[in-house]
A and B are shown apart, each in its own frame.
Chain A
Amino acid sequence: MDVLETIKTRRSARSFADQPLGPHIVEAIEEAILYSPSASNAQEAHVVIVQEKARIRQIKRFAQGLSGWPAALVILCSNRDEALARGGIDSAETLRFINLGVAASAVMLTAQSLGVASCPVRSFHGESVAAIAGLPEAVRPELMISLGYADQPPRPKTSKLLREMISYEQYGN
């Protein structure tokens, strides 16, 4: 599947089959994370991949936006201290979150290219997820991605008109 086709066919999945991810899927996700760019090449993010059913249930308990029972969770975490040390104030204040967004996109598109559905989730109680995932104080969960094999068709895509989202040369043109 080429990149644009992968982007266009990806939809957020909210119901998953009871089927684990194969090792090659997890390895591909790991590579996607490692090869994601970061501002100033700070590489300050940390990612926790959760596949144990019992731990997924624990996390789901405190993640009201997490639908269905995914085969895996990818918890994307920021580290403000490391961002400041390696990427300066811009990274500490803003870029560490952008870096996570870039990594999240790489994870979801890699999964999609391998036939694995995904859904980004921000509706969770951060302190609770941090406690369950055993995160140190400086490492905070910012975004989760659920991964698995969708067992329901995706909802139709709705998006703004091109002219509402994209201008040429100057805003509004």
Chain B
Amino acid sequence: MNSTEIDVSREELHERLMDFAAYVLTSARALYREPQSYGPMRLADTLEKTLELLRAAGVQDEAVDKAMTAVRESRPLAMTDPERFATALDRSIGRLVQATLSESGRDKE
């Protein structure tokens, strides 16, 4: 994980944090009534918003960003083709597993 320059004001960060908190809570509330496929989509979007917020606050992780590639590419399919989106989630998770093993050095054993 890298620390980078903070590129927004504290006031803007506060606004974005409010946006984020409201998004997560309203999503959670709505999921009681929404289609099942909305759950994975909202969670993926929540992660995307988390990464955006952290990036604005000066925190970035290359491995996580790379792992998100498959999810980002398949995001439009989250509702129309849940199976393909699930496969994309698997690919992203697989990238995180590789990153995890790489961090611990187990991949070199």
Tell which of B2-10, B25-33, B61-69, B84-92 binds the partner.
B25-33
Q: Which residues of B contact A123 (CB under 8 A)?
A: 30, 34, 38
Please measure, in the bound complex, the distance between the C-alpha atom of A63 and the C-alpha atom of B76, giving whole angstroms. 19
Once bound together, how far apart are the Cα atoms of A151 and B5, in whole Å?
29
Tell me which residues from 34 to 72 in chain A have a Cβ below 8 Å from any Cβ of chain B. Answer: 57, 60-65
User: Which of A57, A65, A128, A158 is B80 in contact with, Cβ under 8 Å?
Assistant: A158
Q: Return the contact of B26 from the options A57, A124, A155 (Cβ within 8 A).
A: A124
Contact, CB under 8 Å: B26 / A125? yes
B42 contacts the other chain (Cβ, under 8 Å)?
yes
Interface residues on B, range: 10 to 19
- B27 and A61 within 8 A (CB): no
CB distance from A132 to the nearest CB of B (A): 11
Query: A64 is contacted by which of B18, B42, B76 (Cβ under 8 Å)?
Result: B42
Q: Can you report 18 residue pairs joining A to B where beta carbons are below 8 Å apart?
A: A57-B19, A61-B18, A61-B19, A61-B22, A61-B23, A62-B22, A62-B26, A64-B23, A64-B26, A64-B27, A64-B30, A64-B42, A65-B30, A123-B30, A123-B34, A125-B30, A128-B22, A128-B26
